[in-house]
Amino acid sequence: MKKFKKVKSIKGTVRVPSDKSISHRSFMLLSMAKGRGRVIDPLLSADTKATMAAMRAVGVQFEETVNGFVITSDGYQNFKEPSDVIDCMNSGTSARLLTGVFAPTNKYYVLTGDNSMRKRPMDRVILPLTEMGAKFAARDNGSKLPLTILPSVTNPVELTASTKSAQVKSAILLAGVQTEGVTTYTEKAVTRNHTEIMLSALGANLTVDGLKISVEGAADLRSIDVVVPGDFSSAAFFLGGTLMFDNSELILENVGLNPTRSGMLNVLTQMGVKYEIDSERGGAEKLGDICIKSQSFEGCTIDGDIVANMIDELPMVATLGLFANSPVTIRNAKELRVKESDRIEATLYNLRQLGAEVEEYEDGMKVYPIKSVNDKAELKAFDDHRMAMIAIMLAKRFGGNITVDDMQCVDVSFPTFIETFESLEQ
């Protein structure tokens, strides 16, 4: 348990960690491609290191450089069968996307993860990949890690999403690009499209028609260089933090602005928050600098398709309900319950500890502006990096004898979070 000194305001310039989603996909996709490519400025966290270790286990070479890695591979066609179990640790992205990467290769793999990851659903990728002809054996009636991928040959299919998940979509596309014929996947709503962007850049014949994505298989992927922008999901904590702390002003540099990731900016606009984006640049993956100041703002209702574009930022936005002039309501976000923790339950637990008035729904929550604070609240991280970072900010905002039980899990996405935040404190 750790207490934090109350912080009055935060000011300065922040360069957030590199994008976790793009780092994962860069390591996987350059491993699937033939030749040598570079990943420049990737995130090196517990999650992305798990992906790198998995690709090394199938024979891909990673050579560390000053600002990233040179990846050398003979392509997915020549992956070696790993001699040991592949540990995805706490990374759902690793577990689900690697299932799609490995399923068509006609080799034997076993994937596992840590205690938290072994509780999270894998059937959302197992079932559609099974429709493609992949063969699996998994715990808990075929739904949980450890997962065995059995040698098999996959076939092209047309699939319709059963959940709004970029991980499921990516698993299907990564299997489809290896499978002779055309595989088509129709989403329920637009989700983050980093996989589609990168597959196209590697030479895959991929088309997008609204919610329908088609990829031609048996592709000859050729390696490229990838520059990883700053992670919008990490920037979200500082966007929220500026609104939590009075008299605050931040510039967030080099933040990825892919519209399938930055839904929180639209919601902040809906809440009446003013911010500026400077020096917008980049190609398929846009990036820029976000300037924001503390200010009065309203609550809002978040529902519908935008939820899929800001699923990781929803706990931060819900927390802003404490400081808004009216409640924040989130619905249609049941996916939060199967993240690293049940993020609906975890968010509301901590807010209740602080004395907030909240309402819990099966698919969301409602948070009212806080009237009085319990300065002896005992906040929990729930072994979830995003919950930990929010809890730390709340403890610093309110001070007193508020404690946070664990901070080690921030290493999953933002190993230097506490040091970065402290550098801004006034």
Residue 51's CATH number: 3.65.10.10
> Is 84's pLDDT higher than 90?
yes
Which of 156, 179, 51 lies closest to 105, judged by CA?
A: 179
User: Is residue 392 domain-shared with residue 253, that is, in the same domain?
Assistant: yes
222 is in an annotated binding site: no
User: Is residue 95 domain-shared with residue 165, that is, in the same domain?
Assistant: yes
User: Is residue 253 domain-shared with residue 364, that is, in the same domain?
Assistant: yes
- Residue 223 domain-assigned? no
Predicted confidence (pLDDT) per residue in 152-166, tens digit: 999 999 999 999 999
386 is in an annotated binding site: yes
Domain count, the chain: 2
25 is in an annotated binding site: yes
Q: Where are the beta strands (DSSP E) in 320-371?
A: 328-330, 358-361, 364-367
Which of 379, 381, 383 lies closest to 403, judged by CA?
A: 379
Q: Where are the beta strands (DSSP E) in 194-248?
A: 206-209, 212-216, 226-227
Is 385 within 8 Å of 413 (Cβ atoms)?
yes
- Residue 131 domain-assigned? yes
Non-local (6+) Cβ contacts of 408 within 8 A are: none
Which of 340, 352, 339 lies closest to 307, judged by CA?
A: 339
Percent of the chain with pLDDT over 90: 97
Predicted confidence (pLDDT) per residue in 262-304, tens digit: 999 999 999 999 999 999 898 889 999 999 999 999 999 999 9
Q: Which domain holds residue 411?
A: 2-17+229-422
Buried b (16+ CB within 10 A) or exposed e, 337-347: ebbbbbbbebb
User: Is residue 251 domain-shared with residue 307, that is, in the same domain?
Assistant: yes
pTM, entire model? 0.94
343 is in an annotated binding site: yes
Buried b (16+ CB within 10 A) or exposed e, 51-67: bbbbbebbebebeeeee
Which domain-ending residue is among 166, 186, 216? 216
In sequence order, the β-bridge partners of residue 222 are 34
Both tokens assigned to 409: 């899990």
User: Has 312 been annotated as catalytic?
Assistant: yes
Single out the catalytic residue among 47, 312, 383, 384: 312
User: Is residue 166 domain-shared with residue 271, that is, in the same domain?
Assistant: no
User: Is residue 109 domain-shared with residue 189, that is, in the same domain?
Assistant: yes
Cis previous bond, 42, omega within 30: no
Predicted confidence (pLDDT) per residue in 98-148, tens digit: 999 999 999 999 999 999 999 999 999 999 999 999 999 999 999 999 999
User: Is residue 40 domain-shared with residue 13, that is, in the same domain?
Assistant: no
